């Protein structure tokens, strides 16, 4: 078997073949040409971005018979030996398994001897952050004053673990993760040379999952080729990588638009049954929503879309069904869900719950319109948007129950003015305020009670509280204290409906008879999505 994995076979052999690290190539090339090469380098960056490869190229650059040259010949004894890992003067040491002080002492003893035949003795220590503290200390003196023609190249994925004393003695380079197009381009080149027929869409999927690592992407490519042979279609890429295809995403968003929670949950179950990765699906969905937003805000979205998941026409059609604000809220929900899924052993349930929240975000814009409409058509005592003082006592934080007159007769109007002000300055924020009720509202303070953790967490940041204070000040003309409380004991929808029923019972004679009782209840149900309990 002469099969060689792509990552090895296609490993760059000179600076000009290195992808995505132009800033490093340039600095190193200049140093070679100016003959100002440092004796110690530290290469940091995530895995598979070219650290060890660059170290080997540097060893060749310095030792090539034609060199030192930034364009090593690739055929001389040194070039070939270094490529094959046989060069006695270029040693590659795994820091993880040689991390003790004794190993470092042996290395230092070895450093003292002159090179056998090469120009430079090069020590490449991979995963150098694994060295023990005493091993690092043993290295210090040699690093400070190394014998002539000795060069150390350290590579690490965890820069933060490298002692300051080492850092200050090295020339440090930070390797960037590769971009998706950079990886796709390289994979395309490999497939071209290897006579592998593969759809671009498949390559893009592989690059995406490679997440900045060329080596990972190349390993995935090998895996896909092993599965499909020389002719690879996107479906087999999806099958091997466990990704959900564009069609499923499209269907998923359609069901989101139609607000079909049961259909969404069964679609998730289907995805899981097929052995697809839900975390990846969540990411794909985020990308899809991002594309919908781009289509919505840009007149020429083509160049800004980073995916092939479905046609532009479909995206445009679907984007019309969303408000830009909604898409942003949905994106935030999924961002959070993705993090929670990584931590949870019940990732499917976490995702399902997030989806139900996604559905909830749909009618936000409608609420504004409806509330305005109802507020206009009914007298000010009937305020469905302000279920005042529900009397609930199970709050997580104890709040003093305010006397019944804390919310003055005119207060609801003030609250509406605050919300109007919010809608002018930060329209997106108004959605959060729809999810709370006001328990205290007077000249001095406003208490807002949230019934769900999610919105509460979003709103309770110091910046947001400051923003609310400033907004209230604009309306009141003086400072007002803002307090936020979380109370998950009672869903607001129900509160609202009950409050509204109460209002209707007591004030039936004053409502101007513009709407029948059942119509008003129906309005409330439309707004808050609750059910009539009695
Ligand atoms: Zn050479």
Q: How confident is the model at residue 379 (pLDDT cuts 50, 70, 90)?
A: low
CATH number, domain with residue 216: 1.10.8.60
The answer to the question of residue 50 being in a domain is yes
Mean pLDDT of 198-223: 89
The position carrying tokens 């598979």 is 48
C-alpha dihedral (59, 61, 62, 65), degrees to nearest 10: 110
Ligand 1 center from residue 156 Cα (angstroms): 27
Which of 115, 142, 174 terminates a domain? The answer is: 174
HEC states along 473-527? HHHHCCCCEEEEEECCCCCHHHHHHHHHHHHHHHHHHHCCCCCCHHHHHHHHHHH
Distance 61 CA to ligand 1 centre (A): 8
- Same structural domain, 189 and 336: no
Residue 443 class from Cβ within 10 Å (0-12 exposed, 13-18 middle, 19+ buried)? exposed
Q: In angstroms, what is the span from residue 17 Cα to ligand 1's centroid?
A: 16
- 3-state DSSP call for residue 127? coil
How many angstroms does the Cα of residue 81 sit away from the middle of ligand 1?
Answer: 10
How close is the Cα of 172 to the center of ligand 1, in Å?
26
Q: Which residue has the higher pLDDT, 429 or 157?
A: 157
Question: What pLDDT is attached to residue 505?
Answer: 47
**Same-domain status, 25 and 74:** yes
Structure tokens at 217: 């992407």
280: CA distance to ligand 1 center in Å?
44
Question: In the beta sheet, which residues pair with residue 121?
Answer: 150
- Residue 511 has a pLDDT of 43
377 and 479 share one domain: yes
Average pLDDT over residues 133-150: 89
Distance between Cα 403 and ligand 1 center (Å): 88
Specify the pLDDT at position 260. 84
Please provide the average confidence, as pLDDT, over all residues in the chain.
81
Q: What is the pLDDT of residue 388?
A: 41
| Predicted confidence (pLDDT) at residue 86 exceeds the cutoff of 80 | yes
C-alpha of residue 56 to centroid of ligand 1, in Å: 13
Cα dist. 251→205, 239, 281, 295, 529 in Å?
A: 19, 18, 13, 18, 24
Q: How far is the CA of 72 from the centre of ligand 1 (A)?
A: 5
Distance of CA 67 from the midpoint of ligand 1 (Å):
7
CA of 245 to the centre of ligand 1 (A): 47
Q: In this predicted model, what pLDDT tens digit does every residue of 217-226 receive, in sequence order?
A: 999 999 999 9
* Contact partners, residue 50, CB within 8 Å, separation at least 6: 12, 18, 19, 20, 21, 175, 214
Q: Are residues 145 and 221 in the same domain?
A: no
Ligand 1 mean position to 82 CA, how many Å?
10
The pLDDT of residue 477? 84
Q: Which two tokens stand for residue 360?
A: 């909830």
Q: How far is the CA of 48 from the centre of ligand 1 (A)?
A: 25
pLDDT at 362 over 50: yes
In whole angstroms, give the CA distance from residue 459 to residue 468.
10
Same domain, 265 and 335: yes
What's 382's DSSP letter?
A: -
Report if residue 400 sits inside a domain: no
CB within 8 A of 222, min separation 6: which ones? 5, 6
Q: How many helices (H) and strands (E) does the chain have?
A: 24, 10
Number of domains in the chain: 4
Q: Which residues pair with 438 in a beta bridge?
A: 448
> Which single residue is written with the structure tokens 């998941």?
309
Spell out the alpha helix ranges (H) of 258-391.
Answer: 261-273, 278-297, 312-319, 324-343, 347-360, 364-377
Residue 27 has pLDDT above 80, yes or no: yes
Compute, in angstroms, the gap from residue 109 CA to the centroid of ligand 1.
28
**Residues 283-327 pLDDT 10s:** 889 988 998 998 888 887 777 776 666 778 888 889 888 888 889
Neighbours of 320 (CB within 10 A): 11
Number of other residues whose CB lies within 10 A of the CB of residue 386: 21
Strand 197-198 and strand 231-232: pairing?
Answer: parallel
Find the 65 Cα to ligand 1 centroid distance in Å: 5
Distance 481 CA to ligand 1 centre (A): 74
**Among candidate residues 174, 198, 230, the one where a domain is terminated:** 174
- Residue 112: what pLDDT? 84
Determine the distance separating the centroid of ligand 1 and the alpha carbon of 191, expressed in angstroms: 28
- Report the pLDDT value the prediction gives residue 528, as an integer from 0 to 100: 58
Cα 364 to averaged position of ligand 1 atoms, centre (Å): 67
CA of 70 to the centre of ligand 1 (A): 11
Measured in Å, residue 68 CA sits from the centre of ligand 1 at 9
Angle between helix axes 411-425 and 462-476 (nearest 10 degrees) is 120
Q: Is residue 376 part of a domain?
A: yes
Mean predicted confidence (pLDDT) in 126-145: 90
528 CB neighbour count, 10 Å cutoff? 22
CA of 86 to the centre of ligand 1 (A): 14
- Distance (angstroms) between ligand 1 centre and the Cα of 76 equals 4
Ligand 1 center–CA 124 separation, angstroms: 19
Token output for 320: 């019309």
Do 384 and 522 share a domain, yes or no? yes
Residue 196 lies in a domain: yes
What angle, 0 to 180 degrees and rounded to 10, lies between the N-to-C axes of helices 77-84 and 51-63?
160
Exposure string (b/e) for 212-224, b if CB count within 10 Å is 16 or more?
Answer: bbbbbbbbbbbeb
Centre of ligand 1 from the C-alpha of residue 62, in Å = 9
Given CA atoms 122, 217, 283, 277 in this order, what sign does their dihedral have? negative
Ligand 1 geometric centre to CA of 74 (Å): 5
Domain boundary among 192, 210, 241: 241
Distance (angstroms) between ligand 1 centre and the Cα of 58 equals 12
CA 15–ligand 1 middle distance (angstroms): 14
CA distance 250 to 292: 11
- Asked whether residue 266 falls in the same domain as residue 236, the answer is no
Domain encompassing residue 214: 180-241
CATH classification at residue 316? 1.20.272.10
Whether 295 and 350 map to the same domain: the answer is yes
If one compares 92 and 527, the residue with the highest pLDDT of the two is: 92
Residue 440 pLDDT exceeds 90? no
Q: Are residues 100 and 62 in the same domain?
A: yes
| Residue 185 included in any domain | yes
CA of 12 to the centre of ligand 1 (A): 15
Same domain, 24 and 148: yes
Phi and psi, residue 74, nearest 5°: 85, -10
How confident is the model at residue 392, as a pLDDT?
Answer: 40
CA atoms within 13 A on the CB side of 323: 14
- Determine the distance separating the centroid of ligand 1 and the alpha carbon of 21, expressed in angstroms: 23
Domain presence at residue 399 = no
* Greater pLDDT, 492 or 426: 426
Span 482-525, pLDDT tens digits: 999 888 776 544 444 444 444 444 444 444 445 555 666 666 66
Whether 443 has a pLDDT exceeding 70, the answer reads yes
Q: 0.85 cut: is pTM over it?
A: no
For residue 531, name the pLDDT band (cuts at 50, 70, 90). Answer: low
The CATH number of the domain holding residue 168 is 3.40.50.300
Using 50, 70 and 90 to split pLDDT, how confident is the model at 387? very low
Task: Please tell me the distance between residue 78's alpha carbon and the centre of ligand 1 in angstroms.
Answer: 6
Q: Which residues contact 243 (CB under 8 A, 6 or more apart)?
A: 205, 209, 237, 276, 277, 280, 281, 284
Nearest Cα residue to 156 out of 58, 82, 59, 52: 52
Measure 83 CA to ligand 1 centroid, in angstroms.
10
Same domain, 386 and 453: yes
For residue 398, being part of any structural domain is answered with no
Residue 68 lies in a domain: yes
Q: Cα(57) to centroid of ligand 1, in Å?
A: 11
- 69 CA from centroid of ligand 1 (Å): 9
Residue 116 and residue 12 in one domain? yes
The confidence score (pLDDT) of residue 148 equals 87
Read off the pLDDT of residues 254-286 as tens digits, 9 standing for 90 and up: 998 888 888 889 999 988 888 888 888 998 899
Alpha carbons 232 and 420: distance in angstroms, whole number: 56
Q: What is the CATH number of the domain that holds 515?
A: 3.30.300.180
User: What is the CA(80)–ligand 1 centre distance, in A?
Assistant: 7
Instruction: Say how far apart CA 507 and CA 400 lie, in whole Å.
Output: 28
């Amino acid at each position: 078997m002469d099969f060689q994995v792509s990552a090895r076979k296609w490993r760059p052999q000179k600076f000009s073949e290195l992808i995505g690290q132009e800033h490093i190539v340039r600095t190193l090339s200049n140093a070679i040409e100016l003959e100002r090469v440092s004796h110690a380098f530290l290469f940091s960056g995530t895995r598979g971005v070219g650290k060890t490869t660059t170290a080997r190229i540097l060893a060749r650059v310095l030792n090539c018979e034609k060199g030192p040259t930034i364009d090593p010949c690739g055929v001389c004894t040194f070039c070939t030996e270094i490529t094959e890992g046989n060069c006695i003067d270029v040693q590659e040491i795994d820091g993880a398994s040689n991390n003790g002080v004794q190993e470092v002492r042996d290395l230092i003893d070895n450093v003292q001897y002159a090179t056998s035949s090469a120009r430079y003795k090069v020590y490449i220590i991979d995963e150098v952050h694994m060295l023990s503290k005493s091993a690092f200390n043993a290295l210090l003196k040699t690093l400070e004053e190394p014998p002539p023609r000795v060069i150390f190249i350290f590579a690490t994925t965890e820069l933060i673990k490298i002692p300051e004393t080492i850092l200050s003695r090295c020339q440090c380079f930070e390797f960037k993760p590769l971009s998706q197009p950079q990886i796709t381009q390289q994979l395309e080149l490999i497939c071209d040379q290897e006579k592998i027929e593969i759809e671009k869409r498949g390559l893009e999927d592989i690059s995406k999952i490679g997440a900045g690592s060329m080596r990972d992407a190349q390993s995935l490519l090998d895996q896909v080729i092993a599965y499909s042979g020389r002719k690879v279609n996107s479906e087999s890429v999806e099958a091997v990588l466990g990704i959900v295809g564009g069609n499923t995403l499209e269907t998923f968003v359609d069901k989101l638009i139609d607000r079909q929670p049961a259909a969404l949950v069964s679609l998730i179950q289907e995805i899981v049954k097929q052995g697809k990765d839900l975390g990846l699906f969540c990411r794909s969905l985020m990308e899809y929503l991002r594309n919908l937003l781009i289509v919505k805000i840009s007149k020429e979205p083509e160049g800004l879309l980073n995916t092939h998941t479905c046609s532009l026409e479909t995206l445009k059609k679907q984007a019309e069904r969303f408000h830009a604000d909604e898409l942003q809220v949905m994106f935030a929900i999924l961002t959070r869900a993705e993090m929670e899924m990584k931590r949870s052993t019940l990732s499917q349930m976490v995702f399902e719950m997030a989806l139900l929240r996604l559905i909830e975000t749909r009618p936000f814009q409608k609420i504004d319109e409806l509330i305005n409409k109802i507020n206009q058509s009914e007298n000010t005592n009937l305020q469905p948007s302000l279920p005042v003082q529900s009397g609930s006592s199970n709050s997580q934080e104890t709040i003093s129950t305010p006397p019944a007159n804390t919310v003055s007769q005119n207060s609801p109007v003030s609250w509406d003015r605050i919300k109007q002000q919010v809608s002018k300055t930060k329209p997106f924020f108004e959605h959060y305020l729809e999810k709370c009720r006001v328990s205290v509202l007077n000249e001095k303070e406003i208490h807002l009670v949230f019934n769900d953790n999610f919105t509460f967490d979003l709103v309770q940041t110091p910046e947001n509280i400051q923003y609310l204070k400033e907004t209230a000040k604009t309306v009141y003309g003086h400072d007002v204290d803002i307090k936020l409380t979380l109370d998950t004991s009672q869903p607001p929808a129900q509160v609202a409906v009950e409050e509204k029923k109460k209002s209707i019972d007591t004030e039936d004679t004053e409502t101007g008879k513009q709407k029948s009782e059942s119509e008003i209840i129906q309005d409330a149900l439309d707004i808050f999505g609750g059910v009539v309990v009695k």
